[in-house]
């Protein structure tokens, strides 16, 4: 089966975009929707503890989504990442539009910007359920 790809962007590729990617892939597989997600960071922080946020890990566990033993570390976005995808989502417009416009200006018009806060503005109990709803809505749109 040929899959189309959605690319989720956030700053660190450690918390929000990773949650969106892993949730999307789980739901798409369960529903038989021929889409796959990947994620990248626009400005990853090398000081993050481990490959993925504990908030992300715990939220996925609560949803019954298991992680591979070898969870990858955050990946910084490159122009090639944009070329190979069919849909692009940046999880917080105020935070990510300036970064996309600075480093990937020719792709700005292709990006769908959401408004999901990072930990500096909202806790995971608010942000992750919001992402869960947005990912579900996106899947519905892409499947139709």
Encode pLDDT of 74-94 as tens digits: 999 999 999 989 999 999 999
Count of domains forming the chain: 1
Is residue 42 within 8 Å of 7, Cβ to Cβ?
no
The predicted model gives 43-52 an average pLDDT of: 82
- In this prediction, residue 83 carries a pLDDT of 94
- In this prediction, residue 33 carries a pLDDT of 95
Q: What DSSP string runs through 87-109?
A: EEEESBHHHHHHHHHHH-GGGGG
Encode pLDDT of 13-47 as tens digits: 999 999 999 999 999 999 999 999 999 999 987 77
Is residue 100's pLDDT more than 90?
yes
Tokens coding 37: 């997600």
CATH classification of the domain holding 105: 3.40.50.2300
Domain of 131 in residue numbering reads as 4-143
Beta-ladder partners of 120: none
Q: What is the C-alpha R_g of the chain?
A: 14
């Amino acid at each position: 089966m040929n899959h189309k790809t959605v690319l989720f962007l956030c700053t660190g590729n450690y918390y929000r975009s990773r949650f969106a990617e892993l949730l999307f892939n789980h739901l798409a597989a369960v529903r038989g929707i021929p889409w796959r997600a990947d994620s990248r960071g626009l400005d990853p922080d090398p000081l993050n503890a481990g490959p993925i946020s504990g908030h992300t890990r715990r939220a996925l566990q609560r949803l019954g989504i298991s992680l591979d033993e070898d969870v990858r570390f955050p990946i910084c976005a490159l122009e090639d990442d944009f070329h190979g995808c069919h849909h692009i989502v940046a999880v917080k417009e105020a935070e990510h539009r300036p970064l996309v416009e600075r480093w990937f200006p020719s792709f700005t018009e292709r990006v769908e910007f959401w408004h999901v806060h990072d930990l500096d503005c909202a806790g995971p109990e608010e942000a992750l359920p919001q992402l869960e709803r947005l990912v579900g809505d996106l899947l519905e749109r892409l499947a139709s």
